[in-house]
Amino acid sequence: MTTTMTASTPLLEARGLTRKFGGVVALDRLDLAIERNEILGLIGPNGSGKTTFFNVATGIYRADAGHITFDGVETTGATSRAIYRAGVSRTFQRSRLSLPLSIFDNVMIGNHKRLNQGLWFNLVRRRAFKREFETNYHAARTLIEVFEPQLAGRMFEPVAGLPMIDRRRIEICRALISQPKLLLLDEPSAGMTHEETTALMDDILQIRTLNKNLAIVIVEHEMGVIERITDRCAVLNFGRKIAEGPYRQVAADRQVQEAYLGVA
């Protein structure tokens, strides 16, 4: 796989991306580029296409028209699995953890591509498997510790009994464990208090300092968060990008204000 990469090639580029659901045009010839190692805020009123964009970018929905390239490779119409293997990871708007499973299990689900999936290895070579298990236990534990040290000692507790904020943290760890190049966060702070949100954003920034080779796209409704942690923003409305740039600039944009508040 050859990549036509230069330092200025965007990590992910969507051009003319269109997706319809029946009569509703969720993405309308969207052009959006995500640069390497940046934190991009994706904002817009409800129904503007943010989650749909994530779903198309991760292969859950096929685009009706347009192209996406990731890391120089065309991924339009690629499967979710291929996109994950290429280095894209995500969280979901509606928290999708496997509730009966333990914290460790849930995080390991995100690590699929780095685990040995062979039948012989898993069933027969138990000593080797144990070594891989222990290595990954420590990796998962270390990651969880960044977000919530209290959970680190409870890695084999079922997720079902944990509060929402812990579940979101675990979901983010699940997305991070495979060391992706691009992390898509879909409303990570939904349902959290202001303090919890601040703590979560601190943790995300910490992840960034530890891992320079990571771009993050974050969908958020709390503008304080966007202002604080993003390098720049893209604003969607009715499936199109209507503004782009640092938060301050975008917040002052007339079109953006109208999109959120309606025409005065």
Partner 1 sequence: MDAGLFAQYVMNGLMLGMMYALVAVGFTLFFGVLDIIKFSHGDVLTVGAFTALATYVGLRSAGIGASPVILLIMLVVAIFAMAALGMLIARLLVLPLRSAPALNTLLITLMFGTVLRESVRLFYPQGANPKPFPALLPSVSVNFGNFNLRLDSALMLAAGLIVIVGLQLLLNRTKLGLAIRAVAQDEETARTMGVNFTAIVLITFAIGSGLAAFAGIMNGLYYNEINFGIGLYLGVIGFAAAIIGGLGSIYGAILGGFLFAALQTIGTVALPFASAYKDVFAFAVVIIFMAWRPTGLIQEKISERV
Partner 2 sequence: MIAGEQHAKGALLPGVVAVALTTAYLIALLAVEKQPLIIGLLALAIAAVLAANWLGWLAPVSRSFADREEPLAGLAIAAAFAVAVFFHDDHFVLLLVCTVLLYTVATLGLNIQFGYAGVLNFAGASFFGIGAYTSAVFNAHTAVPHLLVLLIGGLIAALIGSLLLLPVLRTRGHYAALVTIAFALLLKTFLEVNDVLGGPQGLQVKGMKIFGWSFNDNIEIGKISLSFYWSYFVVSMLLLIGAFILVRRLERSWIGLNLDALRLDETAANCFGLDVARWKITAFTLGNFLIGMAGALFGMIGGFVAPNNYTFADSLLLVSILLLGGIGNPWGLVVATVIVVVVPEKLQTIQEYRFLLYALLVIMVLLFRPEGLLPRPVRRYFPGWRP
Binding residues for partner 1 (CB under 8 A) = 51, 55, 60, 92, 94
Question: What is the number of other CB atoms lying within 10 angstroms of the CB of residue 5?
Answer: 12
Question: For partner 1, which is the closer residue by CB, 36 or 90?
Answer: 90
Q: Can you tell me whether residue 260 is helix, strand or coil?
A: helix
Residue 79 binds to partner 2 (criterion: CB under 8 A)? yes
Residue 80 binds to partner 2 (criterion: CB under 8 A)? yes
Residue 126 binds to partner 2 (criterion: CB under 8 A)? yes
Residue 153 binds to partner 2 (criterion: CB under 8 A)? yes
Give the type of residue at 158.
P
Residue 189 binds to partner 2 (criterion: CB under 8 A)? no
Minimum distance from residue 91 beta carbon to partner 1 (Å)? 12
Minimum distance from residue 248 beta carbon to partner 2 (Å)? 34
Q: Which DSSP letter does residue 252 get?
A: T
Minimum distance from residue 60 beta carbon to partner 1 (Å)? 6
Minimum distance from residue 137 beta carbon to partner 2 (Å)? 6
Give the type of residue at 116.
N
Residue 157 binds to partner 2 (criterion: CB under 8 A)? yes
- Residue 73 — φ and ψ, nearest 5°? -110, 140
Question: For partner 1, which is the closer residue by CB, 96 or 131?
Answer: 96
Question: For partner 2, which is the closer residue by CB, 48 or 178?
Answer: 178
Burial of 117 (0-12, 13-18, 19+ CB in 10 A): exposed
Interhelix angle 164-176/126-147, rounded to 10 degrees, is: 130
Binders of partner 2: how many residues, by CB under 8 A? 45
Provide the sign of the torsion angle of the four alpha carbons 123, 126, 130, 131, taken in this order. Answer: negative
Element (DSSP H or E) covering residue 210 = helix 194-210
